[in-house]
Structure 1
Amino acid sequence: MTVVVPAEPVGVLTGAWRECVGTGRMNLSLRHDHREALARVQREIGFRSVRGHGMLSDDMGVHRPYERDGRHVRHVTTYLDQVVDGYLEHGIRPFLELGFMPSGLASGDQTVFWWRGNVTPPSSYTEWADLVRGTLRHLVDRYGLEEVRRWPVEVWNEPNLVHFWEHADQAEYLRLYEVTAHAVKDVDASLQVGGPALSPGADEWWEPFAAFVTERDVPVDFVSRHAYSSGPAQHVPFGTYQDLRPPQELLDQFGAPRRHLAGTALADLPVHITEFNTSYRPDNPVHDTAYNAAYLAPVLAGGGDLADSFSYWTFSDVFEEEGVPAAFLHGGFGLLTHRGVPKPTYHLYAFLARLGEQVLARGEDHLVTRHADGRLAVLAWQPVDGAARGDERRTLRLDLPVGDVARISTHRRRVSEDDGNVWTAWCHLGRPASPSARQLDLLHEASVPAVEHGSHATADGRVRLDVPLSRHEVTLVEVDPVRDETPDWLDDTRIPGYR
């Protein structure tokens, strides 16, 4: 069947897909390889904000108690300033997540991750509020109120899970949220504060959260949750396998806050999906594959209709929640590997960055857009359902409106099982845990998308294009009008080999 694409737009491609990206924990941004990865991501994709854990954890050194005629606390921002300075230098703003608990303020010793973020409530809510106010006032003094007003402030991370909040105590989280939200507004009423940063499967928290903040007049400027679509974990040494539910599951999760908050005072607030991916595990090989890119293509194409932002977790494999990665490709969340090699999902994002804002058509395997200057850009993908292999071959047939030109040129970039796929190349090399310099060069070369060029005659302002899609392929086709400037004395048949 041929998709006949209308000449008039049917919608707008919002920037929700690039509004935010994840970074693991903030301390990682002090590392050279992490900052190099961010620089490349910003050059080729251009995210607008970045969110990570651990802003107040011990490895950032913000909360520093000391004794001098009694207990005192100094707020030290040496590392925080370096991290934020680095973000702004790369054209990206922080999306501040307030957590985890500094050990000098913690009420217990429960921690999460290899780097031991403390997940217990504060021993003193007064001191916690002072920490929040002091940190934000410093940021306002250093970067200016107008700038910091653009940085959302999220209260904690996944408090519905016992791993991230002691006993997953809802009442205690609501207390934390209330104290924190008021502390944020004490700095300036225009600062954005929100939560509750729920994990999937915790939608029963929405009603009590909405009721609590409404009844007690607690500030809330946005709501946030996370989205993952993986099933039960099957653990192996240094790895995890999981089936995935269909991509629509992620879109359903994106839409969950508005469904559950309909009819409440929070119904019209912005919705931020502050983490999403296929698997929630940082050691699941699916993240390294072309399948991951094909799976997420319809999610990125349609997510902006359901949420104001959805933040891919994460942009780099420089990430240590389960410890130092044991192999070059280890199933990490990153768009880029260690040493900055792009994975197929990286290219999906880079392709989206080249699309136009006007949406002309959208389907199960395509998104057709137009730029303001009239150029067309088509994102197409081989559909997958979350578990099965996917079709070996599929052809997308398009009838495109191109305007009053006799010919168009096409420029196509392609990622699949065999093209632009670092994971396939790494497997062929024997899956080296620590690739040599030569192997790294080969992997960088293999990670580049395949490129094709072509030209086509038009008829009545339209052109037909066939876009064959191989297994797990994601492709970008850019369509440009041809203004033929060939001089009449040129004759290619006179070139040897072209007769």
Structure 2
Amino acid sequence: MRVIVPEHSTGRLPDAWRACVGTGRFELGLRKDYQDSLALIQREIGFRHIRGHGLLSDGVGVHRPYEYGGSRHVRHAFTYVDQVVDAYLELGIAPFLELGFMPEDLASGDQTIFWWRGNVTPPRSWTEWATLVRSTVAHLVDRYGLDQVRQWPIEVWNEPNLKDFWQGADEDAYHRLYEVTAHAVKEVDASLHVGGPAISPGADEWMDRFIEFVTARSVPVDFVSRHAYTSGPSQHVPFGVYQTLAPASELLAQFARPREQLRGTPLADLPVHITEFNSSYRPDNPVHDTAFHAAYLAPVVAAGGDFVDSFSYWTFSDMFEEVGVPTTLFHGGFGLLTHRQIKKPTFHLYSFMARMGDQVLTRGDDHLVTRDPAGRVTVLAWAPVREDGQTLKLSLPMPGAVSAFALRSSVSEEAGNPWRAWCEMGRPPSPREHQLDALRAAAEPAVSHHALPVTAGRADLDLTLDRHEVTLVEVTPVVTDETPPWWDESRLFQEHS
């Protein structure tokens, strides 16, 4: 059955998919290889914001207590903050600020998380915490300007509903943290945007009670945030895990949930940000490296903007280190890129989205068709996961064209799949330079092109997709054939005596 694509747009394609992307801890932004990777991401995809943990952790060195004159004082130092934020802005991306974790000298306990030991206990002095928040935000406003910083959302903590991220998962203590922090932010300037509660999946009741709390106490809140993952419990192996995955549609259901919870409340019109999403919540799950993963997430990335204002892929790069320094190049990291800037298939899902038009013509369970202002029609299509492939037949509107040029780019189990190439190499933990060159070549999409005849203003496009293939077809109308009259291809390769 052929899908007849309408000539007129049904609406604009939301760009919530590119509003934000995740990153490893804040100070990794000081590294050259990190900045090189982010530059590549920005050239080929172009995200607007970047969010990660650890802005206030000891590795960044903002909170610096000292003794002088027989009493304790605190100095706030922004040496590393400035270098990282400067690098972000030079690359055309701005911070989505997450306020956490607790500086050790301000913490009320010694519970930490991750290999790099982020402290997850409440402050022992709420006054000193508020001063730290005010000082940090005020510094950013002073350095980068209020007009700039008011466009940077400020999120309070990360997944406080989990005892690993917030001591005892103490909800009352989080509410106090949020209240003190939100007021401290607004004391710098009332136009700054602050929100939370940044909860993990499976904690809907936290969102309900957060809404009740901020409403009852008139606590400032400019957006709500949560996270979305679809993986089950971890089955651990050395340096990795395996997990079952729920259908990808469950991610969209999680995206939709905050708006449902806000409906009928005084906060009904607030923006909703999914500040982390992925299939697995583990940074050592091999599924992240596969072609399966791109096909699995394709319907989510194509449709997620219908439910939320932003959804942030966790993360742009495998430079991450929550469970330690990776032991191999491909290790199941969250990144769109590996270390050494090798593009995974999911990178290309995003780069394909970046080449789509902004006018939606039609969409289906396995495709999205758009058009740009120049009349170029773009088709993103994907094969359903765990199936052998897919066939899709489309009739595309090409008004005024005499023919059309179709450029197709694809990733699949066989194409644009460096993980598969790495496996075939014998899984070298530290590939040599010639192996890295081969992996980078294997990471590029398969590209083909052909002419499409146009009849009565329409061009038929027939696609056969391989297993776990994601493909982008860019169809450009040819309005005028500018071939010179003397051109004769039949004579091009003739032999002469």
Residue number in structure 1 paired with 2:373 = 372
What is the alpha-carbon distance in structure 2 between the residues aligned to residue 62 and residue 270 of structure 1? 30
Task: Kindly indicate whether residue 422 of structure 2 is the aligned counterpart of residue 426 of structure 1.
Answer: yes
What is the alpha-carbon distance in structure 2 between the residues aligned to residue 145 and residue 195 of structure 1? 21
Unmatched segments (≥5 aa) in structure 1: 385-389
- Check the 8 A contact 1:398/1:466 in 2, yes or no: yes
Residue number in structure 1 paired with 2:11 = 11
- Check the 8 A contact 2:389/2:469 in 1, yes or no: no
Task: Kindly indicate whether residue 126 of structure 2 is the aligned counterpart of residue 125 of structure 1.
Answer: yes
- Paired AA for residue 31 in structure 2: R
What is the alpha-carbon distance in structure 2 between the residues aligned to residue 200 and residue 283 of structure 1? 19
Deviation at residue 406 of structure 1 after TM alignment: 1.4
SS of the equivalent of 2:218 reads: coil
Residue number in structure 2 paired with 1:54 = 54
What is the alpha-carbon distance in structure 1 between the residues aligned to residue 253 and residue 290 of structure 2? 23
What is the alpha-carbon distance in structure 1 between the residues aligned to residue 481 and residue 236 of structure 2? 59
1:48-71 CA-to-partner distances (Å, cap 9, x unmatched) read 000010000000000000001201
Residue number in structure 2 paired with 1:485 = 482
Superposition RMSD in Å: 1.0
1:106-130 CA-to-partner distances (Å, cap 9, x unmatched) read 0000000000000000000000000
Residue number in structure 2 paired with 1:77 = 78
Deviation at residue 263 of structure 1 after TM alignment: 1.3
Residue number in structure 2 paired with 1:35 = 35
**Residues 490 and 124 of structure 1, relative CA distance in 2, 3 Å threshold:** same
State the TM-score, normalizing by the size of structure 1: 0.98
- Check the 8 A contact 2:402/2:481 in 1, yes or no: no
Residue number in structure 2 paired with 1:405 = 401
What is the alpha-carbon distance in structure 1 between the residues aligned to residue 293 and residue 390 of structure 2? 18
Deviation at residue 192 of structure 1 after TM alignment: 0.2
Deviation at residue 437 of structure 1 after TM alignment: 0.8
- Paired AA for residue 48 in structure 2: R
The worse-fitting range, judged by mean Cα deviation, of 484-493 and 215-224 is 484-493
What is the alpha-carbon distance in structure 1 between the residues aligned to residue 211 and residue 388 of structure 2? 47
1:279-317 CA-to-partner distances (Å, cap 9, x unmatched) read 000000000001100011100111001000000000000
Residue number in structure 2 paired with 1:179 = 180
- Check the 8 A contact 2:389/2:468 in 1, yes or no: no
- Check the 8 A contact 1:23/1:51 in 2, yes or no: yes
What is the alpha-carbon distance in structure 1 between the residues aligned to residue 123 and residue 265 of structure 2? 30
- Paired AA for residue 447 in structure 1: A
Residue number in structure 1 paired with 2:457 = 461
- Paired AA for residue 5 in structure 1: V
- Check the 8 A contact 1:328/1:338 in 2, yes or no: yes
Residue number in structure 2 paired with 1:346 = 347
What is the alpha-carbon distance in structure 1 between the residues aligned to residue 161 and residue 431 of structure 2? 40
- Paired AA for residue 159 in structure 2: E
Task: Kindly indicate whether residue 469 of structure 2 is the aligned counterpart of residue 473 of structure 1.
Answer: yes
1:368-390 CA-to-partner distances (Å, cap 9, x unmatched) read 00001111001000012xxxxx2
1:27-52 CA-to-partner distances (Å, cap 9, x unmatched) read 11011111100000000000000001
After superposing on structure 2, the runs of 4+ consecutive aligned residues of structure 1 that deviate more than 6 Å are: none
Deviation at residue 247 of structure 1 after TM alignment: 0.9
1:318-368 CA-to-partner distances (Å, cap 9, x unmatched) read 110000001100000000000000000000000000000010111011000
- Check the 8 A contact 2:102/2:120 in 1, yes or no: yes
Query: What does 1:278-357 correspond to in 2, within 5 Å?
Result: 278-357=279-358
- Paired AA for residue 187 in structure 1: V
Residue number in structure 2 paired with 1:387 = none
1:227-283 CA-to-partner distances (Å, cap 9, x unmatched) read 001112111000011111111100000011011221111121000000000000000
Deviation at residue 11 of structure 1 after TM alignment: 2.2
- Paired AA for residue 398 in structure 1: L
What is the alpha-carbon distance in structure 1 between the residues aligned to residue 207 and residue 388 of structure 2? 42
- Check the 8 A contact 1:271/1:309 in 2, yes or no: yes
Deviation at residue 204 of structure 1 after TM alignment: 0.7
State the TM-score, normalizing by the size of structure 2: 0.98
The worse-fitting range, judged by mean Cα deviation, of 315-324 and 8-17 is 8-17
SS of the equivalent of 2:422 reads: helix
Residue number in structure 2 paired with 1:361 = 362
Deviation at residue 498 of structure 1 after TM alignment: 10
What is the alpha-carbon distance in structure 2 between the residues aligned to residue 15 and residue 341 of structure 1? 25
What is the alpha-carbon distance in structure 2 between the residues aligned to residue 392 and residue 75 of structure 1? 57
Residue number in structure 1 paired with 2:137 = 136
- Check the 8 A contact 2:384/2:390 in 1, yes or no: no
Residue number in structure 2 paired with 1:271 = 272
1:127-178 CA-to-partner distances (Å, cap 9, x unmatched) read 0000000011111110001100000000000000001000000000000000
SS of the equivalent of 2:261 reads: helix
